[in-house]
Chain A
């Protein structure tokens, strides 16, 4: 399927369809019972890229790895730091799953960088939303709506993104808060500093991981000053040989995303301790990443319900666990986006 027309034909040929990319998030790439999948992974290619505009446009099946390397060759990158790039994740799948990496801390998530999208509605209409310039307030912001839509509102064909210049250098460091509580306190002190951190993560043991990004030669003095200001000892960690690569890269070992806030971490962590699940708190504890096998999911689901939190499981079905936000608004837009319920 390499043209919008053939994708549209395939969409309309089945009563229940789940559009998918490369399938790096298996729980999100499954068809409904009795339905079929529609793979976009052959619909590839960067169609526009002008580094001086800080924007690119690519087809949904384009691998993030390809995009990242083309951007890097012009000194640019995707600031929201999507996971599973090496695993083969596609741009369309990244939008539909709405996932971000630790680097989202600095400038925001995928939703903050998507500018435009071309998509098919569930009944096969080709719609263009947003624009191709970095600023645009005309019309409804359909591109944002598609972020996190899990393929249930439209089939994303193409999207335009804003990108930023790559920093010259990065410096990763860790500080030990002694306990989860100590780590949380340190994390909150850091998040109030004008330190322009790129990443700010926390482990359940209370170790705070941070990453600075900026011009060559400026990072060590910045780290030094920051440590003095918040009263912590930071140990630099070589970014090329991270001692804990899987935990730094969600999506590989850590397979469930749970939106949280610092105030909710303590109770969640206590629950996860009882369940013996690995986890990490990312972006100043706005996202919890949890490692859960298929066997762990029912218990995790129950715990999340109790805590009034929701989770997205990438590896094992069901994808939606715990308490999800009310679908009321989604149901309203579905009347227009997917009137036949083909994608629901």
Chain B
């Protein structure tokens, strides 16, 4: 009897991977900086198998990590060295889609976009739309409380999950939430969302679906300074308009996007602003006039409105491809995900530019301006001695700046391995110690995804940063 033979009693050989070559595919996630080799990978197809695997881990005190599609950008899905990977991606059935009740019950390995596709014939969709949505799983979205471009108005994943069945690291099954958007008692489901796999594995999730907006109005404006774009955002907010999305890109990001997609962004602009209104025809018609007046006042170099659905798609294509495109300009890069108060975006960008210069590195910026979520992209060449370290140092300074400005170290990518050292600076010792206590209440032996989120332990080997293999293949792009 051993850990491995116990697993083999549950999983057939083709779903219980043990040899080096098979395991290699699971060494990293979307943040290719970190890698670790698991002892084994199991691929459950039923929730009973997941529970059984977790219980075997509990018996043998072997750490485990659930893996969705491995697109985490913070090292959250890097295996625990010599631990078990429970690959959830074959648990990918939509168990029930109920338009009348406006919900979907899914297995956690379902791809995010698949839910919206299944709901589309009913005029419904699943609102969280990370730009990895063609590939990332709902289980991963829940673990990281993932977002996208529409968070200000629609919230994050946690705001769209209403029920979950969870197996805790001790093998206990918990039911949280249900089919109603209302619930009774403490919101344990809300706590589970964003817990980065540290409380156990989601076995089944109930998702809320919402009607797709009737019309969209997409505006693109170019400015000669980021400050002006930032002021335009403030003016939109001050006018009481609540756009579906407000995005900003700087020159380096524009260049890259233009080269990659010919998206037709203003050629001389230092910054572009994308604002998308959505809603009932009459409301959008009214808001678009107010928006036009604000944009005109804000002194853009030029501005234009998407003529039709294709044009809208092109504007978004530029935006959504920006990071992968910038990544192609540089052998390696680090994407950060800090948040600052929205009214201080201009200041944050100026400080990032100065920091980048101090570190002798280039930094492109794409961000969710509506919610102050920065995505600075630090470019470096890992083959040049010292550049990687300088890139890491710069990333760290940017996070410190976000904390100092009263923001957050992560808006949607999670803490994972990457930002562990910054959790305590953001919260303070007592808060982090308490988080750890809550974690131990679920997982006394700390077997579920240990080493993530909390500032401790050895980090797995650091490699160089770069595009996710699927990005290199042009299958996905990042925001």
Asked whether A330 lies within 8 Å of B180 as measured between CB atoms, the reply is no
Kindly list chain B residues whose C-beta atoms are within 8 Å of the C-beta of A149: 185-187
Chain B nearest CB: distance from A7 CB in Å? Answer: 17
Q: Taking each of A125, A138, A141, which has the highest tally of chain B beta carbons within 10 Å of its own beta carbon?
A: A138
Within residues 39 to 98 of chain B, which ones have a CB less than 8 A from any CB in chain A?
A: none
Kindly list chain B residues whose C-beta atoms are within 8 Å of the C-beta of A98: 183, 187
Seen from chain B, the residues whose Cβ lies within 8 Å of a Cβ on chain A are 99-103, 122-124, 144-145, 147, 151-153, 155-156, 158-159, 168, 172, 174-176, 178-188, 190-191, 193-195, 211-214, 234, 237-238, 240-242, 279-283, 285-287, 290, 337, 339-343, 368, 371-373, 406-415, 419, 423, 426-428, 430-432, 434-435, 437-442, 453
CB-defined interface of A317-344 with B at 8 Å, one 1/0 digit per residue? 0001000111111101111110000000
Q: Known A126-B430, A193-B211; judge A259-B178 contact (CB<8 A).
A: yes
Asked whether B434 lies within 8 Å of A121 as measured between CB atoms, the reply is yes
For the complex, give the distance between the alpha carbons of A324 and B240 in Å.
40
Q: Known A133-B340, A215-B283; judge A139-B155 contact (CB<8 A).
A: no
Asked whether A283 lies within 8 Å of B181 as measured between CB atoms, the reply is yes
Seed contacts A112-B159, A325-B175; 16 additional CB < 8 Å A-B pairs = A52-B238, A53-B341, A133-B342, A133-B372, A134-B151, A135-B156, A136-B407, A138-B419, A144-B158, A148-B186, A196-B213, A215-B290, A222-B283, A260-B182, A324-B185, A334-B441
Seen from chain A, the residues whose Cβ lies within 8 Å of a Cβ on chain B are 50-54, 75, 98, 100, 104, 107-109, 111-112, 121, 125-129, 131-142, 144-150, 152-153, 164-166, 168, 188, 191-196, 214-219, 221-222, 225, 257, 259-263, 283-284, 286-287, 310-312, 320, 324-330, 332-337
Asked whether A332 lies within 8 Å of B186 as measured between CB atoms, the reply is no
Asked whether B182 lies within 8 Å of A192 as measured between CB atoms, the reply is no
For the complex, give the distance between the alpha carbons of A333 and B409 in Å.
25
Asked whether B280 lies within 8 Å of A138 as measured between CB atoms, the reply is no
Question: Can you sample 12 A-B contacts with CB below 8 Å?
Answer: A53-B341, A54-B342, A139-B426, A140-B195, A141-B158, A149-B186, A150-B186, A168-B240, A214-B283, A222-B282, A324-B185, A332-B168
For the complex, give the distance between the alpha carbons of A51 and B341 in Å.
11
Asked whether A135 lies within 8 Å of B184 as measured between CB atoms, the reply is no
Q: Known A259-B182, A333-B186; judge A52-B237 contact (CB<8 A).
A: yes
Asked whether A329 lies within 8 Å of B176 as measured between CB atoms, the reply is yes
Closest to A326 in B: B175
Chain B nearest CB: distance from A149 CB in Å? Answer: 4
Chain A nearest CB: distance from B471 CB in Å? Answer: 21
Asked whether A148 lies within 8 Å of B187 as measured between CB atoms, the reply is yes
Q: Known A54-B237, A329-B176; judge A194-B213 contact (CB<8 A).
A: yes
Kindly list chain B residues whose C-beta atoms are within 8 Å of the C-beta of A144: 158, 187, 190-191, 193
Asked whether A283 lies within 8 Å of B182 as measured between CB atoms, the reply is yes
For the complex, give the distance between the alpha carbons of A134 and B372 in Å.
8
Kindly list chain B residues whose C-beta atoms are within 8 Å of the C-beta of A111: 159, 187, 190
Would you list the 9 A-B pairs with minimal beta carbon distance, nearest first? A144-B190, A165-B240, A218-B282, A215-B286, A259-B182, A329-B188, A259-B180, A136-B408, A149-B186
From the candidates A138, A222, A330, name the one contacting B186 in the complex (CB within 8 A): A330
